[in-house]
Amino acid sequence: MNTGSDEAADAATADTVAGQTGAGPEGGTGREEKPLGSRAPEFVRARRVLHLSWQVGVFVVGLAVVVAGVIMLPLPGPGWLVIFAGMAIWATEFVWAQLVLRWTKRKVTEATQRALDPKVRRRNIALTVCGLVVVAALAGLYVGKFGLVMPWNVSQ
Which is higher by pLDDT, 31 or 110? 110
- pLDDT of amino acid 130: 96
B/e letters for 107-142, b = 16+ CB within 10 Å, e = fewer, are eeeeeeeeeeeeeeeeeeeeeeeeeeeeeeeeeeee
Range of the domain at 81: 4-116
Is residue 25 a contact partner of residue 88, using CB atoms and an 8 Å limit?
no
Q: pLDDT, tens digit, for every residue of 102-138?
A: 898 899 899 888 878 888 888 889 999 999 999 999 9
Residues 111 and 126 in one domain: no
Question: Does 82 share its domain with 124?
Answer: no
Count of Cβ atoms closer than 10 Å to residue 86 Cβ: 20
- Residue 49 confidence (pLDDT) above 70: yes
Q: Which residues contact 61 (CB under 8 A, 6 or more apart)?
A: 89
In this predicted structure, what is the pLDDT of residue 26? Answer: 45
Helices 79-91 and 95-115, interaxial angle, to 10°? 140
Query: Quick one: 101 and 123 in the same domain?
Result: no
Would the pTM of this model clear 0.75, i.e. be above it? no
Pair 43, 107 in one domain = yes
CA nearest to 69, candidates 84, 58, 88: 84
The whole-number pLDDT of residue 80 equals 86
Q: Are residues 49 and 32 in the same domain?
A: yes
Task: Mark whether 110 and 123 lie in a shared domain.
Answer: no
Specify the pLDDT at position 156.
55
What is the predicted pLDDT for the residue at 27?
47
Look at the chain and report how many structural domains it folds into: 2
> Alpha-carbon distance 149 to 156, whole Å?
13
Inter-residue contact 65 to 89 (CB < 8 Å): yes
Q: Are residues 26 and 96 in the same domain?
A: yes
